[in-house]
Structure 1
Amino acid sequence: MATDALARPSTRSNYNCIAQDNSCCSKDKHLYHYTTTTTTTTTTTAAVVKTTTQAAVKSSTTTTSTTSTIASTTAVVPVKTTTSASSGSGLPACFVTWSSGQAYAVNSQVALNNVNYQAKWYENAGASPATNADGGWTSLGACDPTQTPPSNPNGPPPVPSTLAQHRAYAASLSTDATLQYLKQAVRTNTNVNAIAPGAASNPDNVKRVERILTPAKWDFYFSQADPAYTYANFLKSVGWFAGFCDTYPGKDSDAICKRLLSTMFAHFAQETGLHSQLIPIPEWRQSLAYLRELSCTENNTISGCYYNNDCGNPAFNKVFPCGAGPNNGYKAYFGRGAHQLSYSFNYGPFSEVIFNGDPTVLLNAPEQVADTWLNLASAIFFFIYPQPPKPSMLGVMDGSWIPNAADIAAGRTNDFPSTIQIINGECAGGSLSNAASNRISYYQSFAADMGLDTSKESFKCSGMSPFDTSGSAAQTGMYWTGSYLTQGVCQLVTYQTNFNALMDGPNYDQYVKCVEFTFNVKLA
């Protein structure tokens, strides 16, 4: 959020747009079109196969338009069938029996009425090999049902159709070590009602914060804060996000926590600070003065406070249904809370994290982000979640994000200025902006007061390149989108969509939502 150093904040943090229906709706737009062409090739083997070429054409629009082409080609080749000698019939064993309720991926092998078949391409549930209405099944000949069904090592398993099968399928795609680490980093502890200052039952990460940040220190840092921002609510927010100020085996966890707090508080000071020269309190201690974006109220009629243009998109509104209100017919999603959470596509995911996967709670009542403990929890939410191609601020400052050669060459390292680039891109210019200079100064002040040595840290900001797809944070698939290779399933991608795999939980809820939304089905 760019703010005048001597004025109250009037704009919000630079949240990435989240794609819907393979499209994106704001700054950093991305629009993906997939077109499929097919040709049929007959071979001399028993299987007739279909070669599919999928060309994904990506148009990226910022202030200028550029077009690049990404081609993905899947060649379906004949699969060698497995035979098993019979003591009597001499026929190969029958494959697993075809099921009318099951969809089948390319190369799947089934049996029906003692005849083996192989799928040339994706076959919908109910497409019987016996009738072969679409020509998608190749007969491999008669088979012996008395023998043990052979495996099909060269072909994919059947496309999942039940809820349990889809969850198992999602789990099989979610084994990447980086993805698993990130899920652990954003894990939640929903049992926070008992958290209170000094309570013996407080979680370990809360106790760590209490050792570093006492109630008196909170009052010292935030003497100009709006009364809605309380120490108790901050501890509750820390407790909810168990990966914040976590224990780091073999490392100085308290020092890492101080670094995280200094970073977060520095951004608080820029986003919600008074920036006043007229009071005898340094600017780094003037933060949390505002709950809502300047000039915006809950009953406002100022169009600049609506932030709800995306609500009119039917596809988008199906995933994150905006609440009804007086602002163009919808609620207003202007900046609220310590990090000025803005836009419905940020309120919806935050609501999912807080309210057991339900995006509608905060979309219907966005004022909760200002008036309840969520005014601070929303800041930690923004802090710990990566936004591909950007890493999380948590990962930058605790060292879990590892920059690659492209990041280092672009000036993106495990130092505070990289978090400036994440939150508002203020390090991209050739000279140091006032806002970036403020943030750096505030960070140094908080760190010094906490006894944190920053002498070995880099504060080079100007000239840093924006995070892009060449960086290490863009190499891990952590969002779900409908597969363009296999009908009926979703796949992990490295760009943002409406379905965040980091929010999956043990039941892979985000994957299930992706399948149900993309293919207009209800899994059971």
Structure 2
Amino acid sequence: MGSSGGAGIGSLINQTLFNEILKHRNEFYTYDAFIAAAKSFPRFGMTGDDHICKKEIAAFLAQTSHETTGGWSEGPDGRYTWGYRFIEEQGDRVGPYEWPNNAQWPCAAGKRYYGRGPIQLSHNYNYGQAGRALGVDLLNNPDLVATDPIISFRTASWYWMTPQPPKPSCHDVITGKWTPTNADRAEGRLPGYGVITNIINGGLECGKGNDANVVDRIGFFERYCKILKVSCGDNLDCRNQKSFG
């Protein structure tokens, strides 16, 4: 595949497929915003052959669908058609998510850094890093992630593409660019979709047996892989993995 970013992804997932995958999404999350955001990250969905590229798209949309899901078991068309329903964290889960002692990313007065957008970007340090990478002042304007759909998708893509040691990037894992260390192997972290769950929320979900959130993430991934006609691969869960810390 080439490195044409959004245009290339558009040849792999068109509007019709996007609508089928995110069947009941919030209208805030538009196909055009997804494609526009991809142009900021030319390697996203464009690394490897068509199978790998489509698998990455499926993995990205699956993980972010879980983060924003409004699905339930008896919901119309099944629970895995209800990704991308929420733009912000809901109800009692909403909190400031600030690290006031983090001098590198000082909290702006009166701003709250709770989950927003496809990846549910949280904490002032993530808003700070994402904003710097994207050239947007998200520390002072965190609500942009919930009001500008392109910026919203760009923050999710930034998180997906950016390693934060000791964690590799989600992109490198799903495209086969990540090689686990001996320590990773000893702690059960092997290449596959499960490591991406570990990157995103391993401290709460991994190494805990048959966790419902992990099952939900896998359910989205399996459905999206089927639609895009690619295999899911091995090591889908992280039940026996230790978190990266």
Amino acid in structure 2 at the alignment position of 1:396: V
Counterpart CA distance in 1 for 2:46 and 2:192 is: 19
Q: Which stretches in structure 1 are left out of the alignment for 5+ residues? A: 1-202, 297-301, 325-329, 469-524
What corresponds to 2:95 in structure 1?
A: 305
Q: CA 1:340–1:208 in 2, change beyond 3 Å: closer, same or farther? A: same
- Corresponding residue number in structure 1 for 2:24: 224
- Tell me how far apart the structure 2 counterparts of residues 439 and 348 of structure 1 sit (CA, whole Å): 27
Between the two structures, name the one with larger relative contact order (CA 8 Å, sep ≥ 6): 2
Where 1:435 maps in the other structure, the secondary structure is helix
Aligned to 1:322: 107
| Aligned counterparts of 1:307 and 1:408: Cα–Cα separation in 2 | 32
Alignment-derived partner of residue 216 in structure 2: 438
Q: How many pairs align? A: 240
Compared CA separation, residues 308 and 407, structure 1 to 2 (3 A): closer
**Counterpart of 1:411?**
188
**CA distance in structure 2 between the aligned counterparts of 1:231 and 1:389, rounded to whole angstroms:** 33
Corresponding residue number in structure 1 for 2:206: 427
Residue 339 (structure 1) aligned with residue 119 (structure 2): yes
Cα distance in 2 for partners of 1:322, 1:421 equals: 27
Task: Output the amino acid matched with 1:363.
Answer: L
| Pairing partner for 2:46 from 228, 241, 246 | 246
Post-superposition offset of 1:234: 0.5
CA deviation after TM superposition for structure 1 residue 306, in Å: 2.0
**2:91 is matched with which residue?**
295
**1:363-407 residue CA offsets vs partner (Å, 9 max, x unmatched):** 111110111111111111111111211111111111111112222
| Number of the residue aligned with 1:391 | 168
Q: What is the match of residue 375 of structure 1?
A: 152
2:52 aligns to what?
Answer: 256
Distance 1:282 1:269 in 2: 13
Flag the structure with higher strand content. Answer: 1
CA distance in 1, matches of 2:106, 2:98: 11
Counterpart AA for 1:366:
P
Structure number, greater radius of gyration: 1
Q: In 2, distance between residues paired with 1:459 and 1:323?
A: 39
Q: CA deviation at 1:309?
A: 4.9
Identity of aligned residues (%): 28
C-alpha distance in 2 between matches for 1:428 and 1:458: 13
Corresponding residue SS for 2:39: helix
CA distance in 2, matches of 1:460, 1:350: 27
The normalised TM-score by structure 1 is 0.44
1:450 pairs with one of 206, 218, 228: 228
2:218 & 2:236 partners in 1: Cα distance? 7
